[in-house]
Amino acid sequence: MAAFFYDNHEALFLRKPELFANGLRIFNLDETSTKTVQTPNRIFAGKGSRRVSQNTSAEKGTLVTTCMIVNGAGQVFPSLMVFPRVNFKPPLLTDCFPGTRGLAEKSGGMTSKLFGEVMRHFISVTGSSEQRKHPGLR
């Protein structure tokens, strides 16, 4: 399967080098789950310390799904985050990368219903469209 992908990619690259040579029109969209509460692995203290403290949250935390978009030129686009809740609230995106979009899904994971929203977000942040075949850097 991978060989088929790379063969098609090479054929397209050779057929239209003006569109793909600079990497602006080659995209990777990937999703990952992130826990909202982190637990430290190790705690370091100076030799001979009698008291060593650790500060961490007692709550378990939840998983938030994040979809990241990067192009072949290394440009990073605003993410899309799926929160485990029924209704999305804008304060959930406080201190996020500008342009990050938030969605809500009871499970917190990606669903086929949300995939259309992910594609609409992808189109809006990358400027890809049938009419605009040569998007430049934003």
Q: How confident is the model at residue 25 (pLDDT cuts 50, 70, 90)?
A: confident
- How is the chain split into domains, by residue range? 26-36+59-126
> pLDDT (tens digit, 9 = 90+) per residue, 44-63?
777 777 776 655 555 566 78
Q: CA 75, CA 52: separation in Å to the nearest integer?
A: 42
Q: Quick check: 34 and 66 in contact, CB under 8 A? A: yes
Between 88 and 8, whose confidence is greater? 88
> pLDDT (tens digit, 9 = 90+) per residue, 60-113?
667 889 999 998 888 999 999 999 889 999 998 998 889 999 999 988 888 888
